[in-house]
């Protein structure tokens, strides 16, 4: 069985981009596992020193920060840290899912807003 994966990502202030790719049946459990983890994502707070060395807390709401959208200077985690390093998904599931994503552009996204997995019953090549 073949699936079409459609992932909508927020680049900035509701500027959306969509990644569409084909998924084999063997990879669909990995996609479902990562989608479940993203759905259950909870904002987190990180503490770092401010310019004067005092503790500064930042709360992060982005579930898939990539590219220039990642604020590691404020303690924001990259998807690998959020989902794999925390034990929410396996490295294999993460790698499969991430390998299916392509959002284009140079800046990356900060959040995944929707994930749709469609069963492809029949494909007709028209040109």
For residue 16, tell me if it sits in a domain: yes
Token pair listed for 9: 């990502």
Q: Which residues contact 109 (CB under 8 A, 6 or more apart)?
A: 9, 10, 11, 17, 64, 65, 66, 67, 69, 103
pLDDT of 124: 85
**What is the Cα 32 distance to its own chain's centre?**
13
Domain assignment present for residue 62? The answer is no
pLDDT digits (tens, 9 = 90+) for 30-43: 999 999 999 999 99
Q: What is the pLDDT of residues 62-88, one digit of tens each?
A: 999 998 888 988 899 999 999 999 999
Residue 53 counted as domain residue: no
Q: How many domains does one find in the chain? A: 1
Q: Per the domain annotation, does 36 fall within a domain?
A: yes
Q: pLDDT tens across 9-33, in order? A: 999 888 899 999 999 999 999 999 9
Q: Which domain holds residue 13?
A: 2-43+79-120
Residue 42 CA to residue 34 CA, distance in Å, equals 14
Asked if residue 105 belongs to a domain, the reply is yes
pLDDT at residue number 105:
67
Query: Structure pTM?
Result: 0.89
């Amino acid at each position: 069985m073949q699936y079409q994966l459609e992932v909508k990502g927020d680049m900035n202030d509701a500027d959306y981009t969509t990644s569409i790719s084909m998924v084999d049946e063997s990879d669909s459990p990995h996609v479902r596992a990562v989608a479940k983890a993203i759905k259950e994502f909870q904002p987190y707070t990180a503490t770092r020193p401010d310019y004067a060395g005092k503790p500064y807390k930042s709360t992060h709401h982005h579930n898939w920060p990539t590219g220039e959208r990642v604020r590691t200077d404020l303690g924001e985690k990259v998807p690998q840290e959020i989902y794999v390093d925390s034990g929410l998904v396996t490295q294999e599931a993460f790698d499969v899912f991430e390998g299916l994503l392509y959002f284009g552009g140079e800046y990356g996204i900060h959040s995944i807003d929707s994930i749709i997995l469609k069963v492809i019953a029949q494909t007709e090549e028209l040109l």
